[in-house]
Structures are given as C-alpha cells and as structure tokens.
Amino acid sequence: MITDLPAELQLMIFDAIKKPDKRNPRRRRQALVNQRGYSKHSENAARRALFNLSLTCRKYRSLLVPTLFDRVTLLNETDSAASVVGLATSELGHYVKHFRFEGSLQGEEYKMAMQPFAPDINEGSAENLDKVIEAILPTPVHNILSDLHDWFSNLEIVRVHFEYDNSWGTDRFNYPGGLVQSVLFAETSSEPAMVVKLASWEILMTKAYEALYQNKHPIKSLHLQDLLPGLVSTFATPDFHKFLSRLETFKISVSSSYSDDRFFAKRSGGDSNLYKQFGNLFFNHLASVKHLTIKAGLARREYDNTYPSTVPFATTQTPMLKSIRIQGILISMALIDFLANHCNTLEHVFFDDCVAAHFNWATQSYWTNTWGELFKALAGSDCKSSTLRKLDITPIKSSEIVGPTTVVDVSCEEELFTHAKAGMFVYVVSRSPWQFRRFIRRDDMRWYQAVREVIRANKGKGRRIL
C-alpha cells in the first residue's frame, strides 16, 4: 500500500500527481494551444486524484488539505460570494493562495434583475442605475474583489477572466459565436437588448477592475486572461496604474477569437493592432515586476493579416525583470533592444510560437531583426554581463511550416551545422497569405552557441557558490 512507503516517497508521488505535464512534451504542446495557459482536464483530474487520496485516511487528509484548498473561484453571483466568504472565514481559509474571478452575465439572478432596467441603460437614465450596477456586479462580489487580503491573508495569485460567450439573452438571437457575434449584429440593429448587453459588459469589466485596484494590500501576481481590449476604461486610469506598479508577476493573454479581437479593436478607436496599447496601459507601469508573460491569440495568425503582431516594448520598462515568457509574437527591434537592456537582470527567457521575418517590409531589406540578433542581445554582447541561466524555445507546429528547412550561409562541413536543433528558428516568408519556413543561418547559429556558453557559465557560477 502507498501508506507503507517512506514519507519522502509518498510526498514525491503527491507532487507528481499535482504536476502531470511537467516532463511530457506532447501534453505541453496541448497546453500551449489552450489559451488559458493550463490544461483544465489534467488539472481537474489531478485534483480529483488528490481528493480521493485524502479520503483514504486521516494522515493523508492532513497532508493534502493545504493543496486541496489552495485555490478558490469567485463567480459573479451572490451565492458564489457567500460560498467564498464561508471558506475565507473557516479554518481552511488561510490555505488559499490562488484566487480566480470568473466574470459573466449569465444566470437567472442576472436575467431577472436586468429585465426591468434594460431601457435605463439604453437611454442613459440614471434613475435606476445603482440597481442596474448591483445586478451586473453584486455588492457581495465587489466587497470580496476590493479587499482580497482581508479574506485570504496568504493570497499570492489573482486571475481574472470574463466568460464572453455565455451571457444573458445570447440564445434568443441564435448566434453560435456568443456575445461578440450578437454585438456585431447590434451595430446595424435597433434591437434595444443588444445595446443593453454591450453596455452591461462595459459596466461589469470596469467595475470589477475598479474593485481590484481598491485593494490596499499589494497583490503579488495578476493574470489578465483571454483579454479583449477596447471596453475597459479603467486600464487607462492612474489608480489602476498604481495598482500595477506593486505587482511582482504580471501575465496577460489575449483571446484567441479572431472576431473578438477585430471587433473590440475597432471599438477602441480603429486600431487594427490591439497590442500597440499594451505599453501605455500596462508595461509602462510595471516598476516592481520580476516575472512577465505575454500570450497573443493564436487564431490571429490563421485569419488576420495583421499577425504576427508586435508589442510596444521599451528599454525603460520593467527594470527588475528576471524572467519573461512570450507567445505568438513577431521578433522586432523593440523586443531585441528590450532584451539587450535587461541582459544583466534576466535569468529565464521562454519563446512559445514566436517567429522572425526574413524580409523587413518597412525598410525593404532582408535579414533584419533576426533570431541571431535576438540571441546576440541575450548573450550580453552590449552589457558584457548577461545573467541568463535558461533559454527555452517552443516552435510553431510543423504543420504550419511550408517547404524544407533552408540553409543560408552555412556549409554542411561547418561545426555549427551539426546543431540541427537550431532549425526550429522559424521565419515569415510571405504575408499573403502568411507562410513560415525554418532557416539555418550562420549568424543565428553562432549567437545561439554564444547564448549556450553564457548559460553554462552562469550555471557553473551557481554551483560554485553552493
């Protein structure tokens, strides 16, 4: 029986159950495709297994309670708020480290509350506005969001997600795309309920983020999950920026729905590239952030000719940055300069589904902003003191690569050519439609080798210190 095993081995088994995907490349790829950044199926299965183990004996219950109660999800409902408060005030509340807010406009409670006030939103009447806001974001939910540390003293991570495709009234229009498709229809419709729905979402997201920045105790980690920009005026406020300035970890992922991105980017001022807003809204205000994750919507590459998208990095941003994970982004000079300026603080760098361009359409020149230039920045060629200890590159799916790997300026006899792994470095070769190809280039390989040497040297320093 498992209970007869040494305690250390039992704990190792528990840890393996909690992290089933850590060493499995196939599952890791599946998790990358999932835009929520984790495999819900694997996580739920692991937690069920641990829960079942906790029922076997008192010893396991005692051991596993901190894991089983380390997270809580708050729905946008009064009943959910009551359950969360019940957990917070129990003997189990101090175990909670992960808090998730799932915002939505579904459920009978919201339907019943909204029906009488639909005309007030549409006509801008303030007579019943307080009741409308209460229906959209109930006071018990607001009270939890605005003072998280008071409820959960050991809280570390806050994740915010809005379930856009499940909302009041969507089914009556029979639009399979959910909220966004319905709202797109509203642009040419006089149907009041459609306009009401859009206004309701603006109120929900604005009020939810306002509640978050009211937290007096700093939140360590914030994840804005499956974000759709354009509706949240709170993001541009000084109070929200002050809230961001106290974070240590910031993760932002963009919805993978093409229609969502296109529509909300249009509403935000006609800017076809929503990522251009990230600097002013977020990155310029992350003074204390040590860990940064940026995930673009994968579906944009398949349908939107603005992909791959660039992000407005600046060398002055995130001065304390130690690790960065980037997914679905085009390598740009701004990114290269950003990494070069942080080479004396960055320790871990991860690229998932990223590509470079073998031709610069702006300057009409070849081989600029290459993987080699990026590796040169990471190797610390300018600062002379790179602190990098880990570089991880997960390429885009092979099915998206056209043609064979192309060798440029490297002969088969050269030592660099033997490092076939560098063939994972993918370039855009066409924009109409987007096409990608693997290249092996001398400069890419040379600077990749330089980065490997830097990493080996830095790891060696760590061992000598120990």
CA angle 271-274-276, nearest 5°?
A: 90
Q: Which residues contact 313 (CB under 8 A, 6 or more apart)?
A: 279, 283, 332, 334, 335, 337, 338
Which tokens belong to 330?
């085009």
Q: Which residues contact 452 (CB under 8 A, 6 or more apart)?
A: 391
Which tokens belong to 20?
């089933």
Q: Name the phi and psi angles at 396, rounded to 5.
A: -70, 165
Task: Point out the domain boundary residue: 33, 66, 99.
Answer: 66
Give the whole-number percent of the chain exceeding pLDDT 90.
31
CA terminus-to-terminus distance, the chain: 38
The answer to whether position 102 is within a domain reads no
pLDDT at 247 over 70: yes
Q: Which residues contact 412 (CB under 8 A, 6 or more apart)?
A: none
Half-sphere exposure of 465 (CA within 13 A, CB side): 6
Q: Which range scores top for mean pLDDT: 34-48, 113-127, 297-311, 316-330?
A: 316-330
The pLDDT-based confidence of 285 (bands split at 50, 70, 90) is very high
pLDDT at 222 over 90: yes
C-alpha dist (Å) from residue 359 to 354, 364, 370: 16, 7, 10
pLDDT score of 381: 74
The answer to whether position 403 is within a domain reads yes
Q: For 167-215, give the DSSP string.
A: ETTSGGGT-TT-HHHHHHHHTT---HHHHHHHHHHHHHHHHHHHHHHT-
The answer to whether position 432 is within a domain reads yes
CB atoms within 10 A of CB 273: 16
pLDDT at 14 over 60: no
The answer to whether position 30 is within a domain reads yes
Range in 86-100, 146-160, 399-413 with the lowest mean pLDDT: 399-413
The model carries a pTM of 0.79
Which residue type sits at 353? D
Q: CA–CA separation, 321 vs 343, rounded Å?
A: 10
Range in 74-88, 164-178, 251-265 with the lowest mean pLDDT: 164-178
Q: CA–CA separation, 437 vs 404, rounded Å?
A: 7
What is the domain range of residue 380? 351-466
As a whole number, mean pLDDT of residues 70-93 equals: 90
pLDDT score of 463: 52
Give the whole-number percent of the chain exceeding pLDDT 70.
59
pLDDT score of 328: 84
The answer to whether position 249 is within a domain reads no
At 433-465, the pLDDT tens digits run 678 888 888 888 889 989 999 999 998 876 544
pLDDT score of 460: 82
Q: CA–CA separation, 7 vs 5, rounded Å?
A: 6
Task: Point out the domain boundary residue: 38, 66, 94.
Answer: 66
> Do residues 245 and 289 make contact, with C-beta atoms less than 8 angstroms apart?
no
The answer to whether position 427 is within a domain reads yes
31 closest CA partner among 16, 41, 44: 41
Task: Point out the domain boundary residue: 20, 48, 66.
Answer: 66
The answer to whether position 175 is within a domain reads no
Average pLDDT, the chain: 74
At 19-30, the pLDDT tens digits run 555 444 444 444
At 365-423, the pLDDT tens digits run 788 889 999 999 999 876 678 999 999 998 887 777 887 777 777 665 555 555 545 55
Q: CA–CA separation, 265 vs 297, rounded Å?
A: 13
The answer to whether position 288 is within a domain reads no
Which tokens belong to 150?
């008071």
Number of domains in the chain: 2
